[in-house]
């Protein structure tokens, strides 16, 4: 349950676990709804935006005292909708609870179970974060072979796929992350050419000059703040910055105070924000291409799976301190 609007970084105590009353496990007759058993729930940084009393965003705020909502993979237990039957696996918005009633079935996607793909990947690699990496890299970054690519929050749900797609595209790729374990994974498991721990770099500008002596063609921006300011000093002429997210700026009072923006002009840099949800027509192609790359062993995906609904609040808060190693998922039930 979301307790109330917050300031600053989310804490475990911003949500509470409540045992609800026993319900009949069925969808009301004539409602068109589904009663689903939630299997995997997704922790995503954008959910922080729903924890403040602000209605001007692309997603409405959570209601204090109500069940937290997010992406999930669920199994249909009872259906009052002719398009779904008991046992179907669906992916879409659901509640942070063991069972949910879903009325807005148009937003759901049926998942065709595939022995080679873990179901939890449908909220990670083959879900919203993977799709974000796909559209952000191909549509916004407009990459060319041999270009120099930098990814921040590179070991996370989105970043790890951006880096791997960029490598497959023939680019030189460097990632930043906040621990030596993550840096090691980037270099030795995810195939990045180089990686560094930004928390150990006293001077981010100097670090970027070390890894990109020729400058950066593409910056996939996930963090904002000091990293963006340093990147702006190191972009090449006609470089592109895809502004995917600014996780360091959630809850800060002055998220717009970015220095070095002047560099956009002489270097003719294109800096563009985007929302994955504006590109949904590409989703089938993404599923096909990235699913096939995964099955061929050409890409891999790191997941950080916490067990039990009760682990949700701390797993979510952990996104903002870098506790997660890879895509943060909560396993509510194995099936």
Task: Answer yes or no whether residue 120 interacts with ligand NDP by CB under 6 A.
Answer: no
Shortest Cβ 23–ligand NDP spacing (Å) = 32
**Cα–Cα distance, 241 to 233 (Å, whole number):** 12
Closer to ligand NDP at the Cβ: 50 or 182?
A: 182
Phi, psi of 288 (to 5 degrees): -65, -50
Q: Tell me: does residue 207 bind ligand NDP (CB under 6 A).
A: no
Which one among 27, 166, 324, 329 touches ligand NDP, defined by CB under 6 A? 324
Exactly one of 92, 130, 143, 159 binds ligand NDP (CB under 6 A); that residue is 159
Q: Is 164 in the site for ligand NDP (CB under 6 A)?
A: no
129 sits near ligand NDP (criterion: CB under 6 A): yes
Assess contact for 265 and 285: CB atoms under 8 A: no
Whichever of 77 and 325 has its CB closer to ligand NDP, that residue is 325
Stretch that binds ligand NDP, among 89-97, 101-109, 155-163, 164-172 (CB under 6 A): 155-163
Per CB under 6 A, the list member of 244, 287, 317, 331 interacting with ligand NDP is 244
Q: For every residue of 227-286, which 3-state class applies, written as one string?
A: HHHHHHCCEEEEEEEEECCCHHHCCCCCCCCCCCHHHHCCCCCEEEECCHHHHHHHHHHH
Task: Indicate whether 247 belongs to the interface with ligand NDP (CB under 6 A).
Answer: yes
Binding mask 53-92 for ligand NDP (x = CB under 6 A): ----------------------------------------
Please report whether residue 223 would count as binding ligand NDP according to CB under 6 A.
Answer: yes
**Shortest Cβ 208–ligand NDP spacing (Å):** 15
Residue 15: strand pairing partners: 2
| Residue 182 interacts with ligand NDP (CB under 6 A): yes or no | yes
Per-residue mark of binding to ligand NDP, 36-55 (x: CB under 6 A): --------xxx---------
Q: Is 317 in the site for ligand NDP (CB under 6 A)?
A: no
For 105, the token pair is 């079935």
Instruction: List binders of ligand NDP among 257-316 (CB under 6 A).
Output: 274-276
92 or 156: whose CB is closer to ligand NDP?
156
Residue 127, interface with ligand NDP (CB under 6 A)? no
Tokens linked to 222: 């996930």
Could you tell me the smallest distance in angstroms from the CB atom of residue 223 to ligand NDP?
Answer: 4
Half-sphere exposure of 297 (CA within 13 A, CB side): 0
Instruction: Kindly give, in sequence order, each residue whose CB lies less than 8 Å from that of residue 113, ignoring residues fewer than 6 positions away.
Output: 89, 119
Which residues in this chain contact ligand NDP in the complex, by CB under 6 A? 44-46, 129, 132, 153, 156-159, 177-179, 182, 222-223, 244-248, 274-276, 319-320, 322, 324, 327
């Amino acid at each position: 349950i979301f307790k109330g609007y917050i300031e600053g970084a989310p804490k475990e105590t911003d949500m509470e676990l409540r045992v609800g009353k026993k319900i009949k496990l069925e969808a009301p007759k004539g409602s068109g709804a589904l009663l689903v058993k939630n299997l995997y729930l997704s922790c995503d940084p954008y959910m922080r935006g729903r924890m403040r009393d602000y209605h001007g965003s692309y997603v409405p705020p959570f209601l204090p005292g109500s069940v937290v909502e997010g992406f999930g993979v669920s199994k249909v237990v009872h259906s009052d909708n002719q398009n779904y039957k008991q046992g179907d696996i669906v992916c879409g918005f659901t509640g942070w609870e063991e069972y949910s009633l879903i009325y807005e079935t148009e937003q759901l996607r049926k998942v065709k179970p595939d022995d080679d793909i873990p179901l939890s990947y449908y909220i990670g690699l083959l879900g919203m974060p993977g799709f974000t990496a796909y559209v952000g890299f191909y549509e916004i970054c407009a990459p060319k072979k041999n270009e120099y690519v930098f990814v921040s929050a590179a070991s996370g749900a989105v970043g790890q796929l951006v880096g791997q797609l960029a490598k497959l595209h023939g680019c030189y790729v460097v990632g930043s992350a906040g621990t030596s374990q993550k840096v090691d994974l980037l270099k030795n498991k995810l195939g990045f050419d180089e990686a560094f721990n930004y928390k150990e770099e006293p001077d981010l500008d100097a670090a970027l000059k070390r890894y990109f002596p020729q400058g950066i063609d593409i910056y996939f921006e996930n963090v904002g703040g000091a990293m963006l300011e340093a990147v702006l000093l190191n972009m090449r002429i006609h470089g592109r910055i895809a502004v995917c997210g600014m996780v360091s700026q959630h809850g800060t009072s002055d998220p717009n105070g970015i220095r070095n923006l002047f560099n956009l002009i002489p270097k003719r840099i294109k800096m563009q924000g985007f929302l994955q949800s504006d590109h949904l027509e590409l989703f089938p192609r993404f599923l096909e291409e990235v699913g096939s790359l995964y099955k061929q062993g050409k890409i891999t995906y790191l997941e950080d799976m916490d067990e039990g609904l009760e682990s949700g609040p701390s797993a979510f808060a952990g996104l903002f301190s870098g506790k997660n190693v890879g895509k943060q998922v909560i396993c509510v039930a194995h099936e």
